[in-house]
Amino acid sequence: MQEYWELYMKTIDGNIASVLVNAGVSVELPSDDKYFMGFIKVKMNSPSDKGLIAEDEEAQLSFIEDKIEMESLRYRIGTYVGKIVSNGEMTFIYYLKHDFEWSDMVQAAMKEFTTYSYEYGSKMDSEWEIYHKLLFPTPIEWQIIQNHKVCDNLKVQGDSLHLPRAIEHKSYFDTLEQRDSFAERIESESFKVKEFIEANESIPMMGVSFYRQDKPFYYDIDTLTLHLIELSHQCGGQYDGWETSVVKI
């Protein structure tokens, strides 16, 4: 299975959570085998006030994670697909072709960490529901991940992110009526249509490219793109991201 890791934040059961997921696994999920989901939930000794990892415990928790992965490879027992840190606990999630050695592997990995309490278990999950519904980003969470990657890239190039500039967006629709309805709505919000994109062999949907003067700072662009996702959805279409130029002070 491919490895392509993403780290993002979300809310789980009312608590802020840091989620690390191997998004690459989604490309080639097995469809004809019975799989178990195995988990190890480690209680942190000194979490931050938000229930996340505190700096003084980060190295030890990283060591625990490495030890679990080393033992899973030694036992050849499963695939590490993600980690959730929330409410003072760190939960490691694996997918297993069988689970009869899961207990032995967990105990071998955790035996030297006597100051940490933990629990573990496994259950049949042939449809990979835990991976899809708990670990893998929703379309909105995925957009925020992409937003922050673009913001990070702009910062690397010397952009402060706080100066307004033209930010170009695209959305796609199945019908001309949907596209026209969307164009009217964005124009009422001071966006300007740059180009109407016709359907073709590579993209069988019709799109619209539009822009407005806005700030690409993290929270500002998140708020803006989530609004455009919702607006595109209301008109029967899909939002397809944004781009802008670097602006230095």
Write down the pLDDT at residue 241: 95
Mean pLDDT in residue range 145-170: 95
Nearest to 192 by CA among 200, 201, 184: 184
Could you give the CA distance from residue 28 to residue 189 in angstroms, rounded to a whole number? 41
For helices 102-110 and 58-75, the axis angle rounded to 10 degrees is: 140
Could you give the CA distance from residue 136 to residue 20 in angstroms, rounded to a whole number? 9
Percentage with pLDDT > 70 across the chain = 98
Could you give the CA distance from residue 144 to residue 65 in angstroms, rounded to a whole number? 26
Residue 52 is classified by DSSP as S
- Residue 205, both tokens: 């949907």
Give the model confidence (pLDDT) of 5-50 as tens digits: 999 999 999 999 999 999 988 877 766 578 999 999 999 999 999 9
pLDDT confidence tier of residue 64, bands split at 50, 70 and 90: very high
pLDDT confidence tier of residue 249, bands split at 50, 70 and 90: confident
Q: Which residue ranges form the domains of the chain, and what is each CATH number? A: 5-135 (3.30.70), 139-244 (3.30.70.970)
pLDDT confidence tier of residue 1, bands split at 50, 70 and 90: low
Mean pLDDT in residue range 74-84: 93
Give the model confidence (pLDDT) of 103-143 as tens digits: 999 999 999 999 999 999 999 998 899 999 999 999 899 99
Span of 113-122, 171-180, 193-202, 236-245 with lowest mean pLDDT? 193-202
The answer to whether 120 and 112 are in contact (CB under 8 A) is no
Write down the pLDDT at residue 199: 85
pTM score: 0.82
